[in-house]
Each structure stands twice: as structure tokens, then as C-alpha cells.
Structure 1
């Protein structure tokens, strides 16, 4: 219910900040379009990261116990996820007596 209103207010604030910085871009000073471009890049990056995480969770849920998933992103950063081995049952608290 309030999400749409928050989006409108946030977008309006970005627009006002851009207008305060003036529409035409002067040398060394960002203009409205520079602000909007950075906003769009940030949103696209966040959406891409959410999609990557959702995909990783889905793949990890389908891996067998002890399975691994290796991931290399566009920057060359490597990640390895490993599914833990399942235990046979609850630990024996009294030492098997």
C-alpha cells in the first residue's frame, strides 16, 4: 500500500536533486541526466544481484549432499559453495549408554 507512494516520493526527490543541480551539465558538474543514469545503473545492478542470488539458492537446493557449486563473476571473482553432508540423526548426548 505504501510502497507505491514511497517510490513516487523517492523518484520525485531524485528529480528535484537533479533539477537543483541544473539541467544542462557544466564542466565537472553532473546534470540531471547523469543523476538519472547512475540511478538506472544502480537499480539494474541490484536486480542482477537479486537474480544471481535466487539462481544460486535454487541450484544449491538441487545439489546432493556434499555437492559443490563454483561461480566466477564478470570481474573474475570466484566463489565456491558447498552443501553440507547430512547427519544420520541427532547426536548421542549420553555417550551411547
Structure 2
């Protein structure tokens, strides 16, 4: 911190770099998930648990059971 209680330039740049690294990591995670889902057979499933303990499940639904609402993959 600077003398006036505000972050200095070095601290701002460090936080900016952390944010950019986190964004790049999330883009890579999403791209990898899409790649895996594209290779799974119908009925396949991927379970993810991230470093914060958040769980995600992705399932490849057979064509006859898909609903085409807003969002999601078609």
C-alpha cells in the first residue's frame, strides 16, 4: 500500500495480471470441456470439481430427448 492507504502501481499491476491469468485459465477450461463433450458418445457424462469445490455435471443427451430452448448447445 502507498502512504495514503491506496494501492500502489505495483499492486495494481499484480492484481491485473492475476485477473488476466484467471480469465485465460477459465477460457482454457471451457475450451477443454467443449472438446471433451464433442468426443463423448450420446449418454456420456463429465463431472467436474474445481479448486473451490464447485461441482459441475455435463451430459450428452441423445438427439430424441433434446429440447431446444434458449441457451445451451444444439
**If the TM-score is normalised by the length of the shorter chain, which range does it land in?**
0.7 to 0.9
Greater relative contact order (Cα 8 A, min sep 6): structure 1 or 2?
2
Q: Cα RMSD over matched residues?
A: 1.4
Moved over 4 A (4+): none
Q: Which runs of 5+ in 2 are unaligned?
A: 65-74
Aligned residue-pair number: 64
- TM-score normalized by the length of structure 2: 0.80
Q: Which runs of 5+ in 1 are unaligned?
A: 1-23, 88-97
- TM-score normalized by the length of structure 1: 0.62
Counterpart of 1:15 in structure 2 is: none
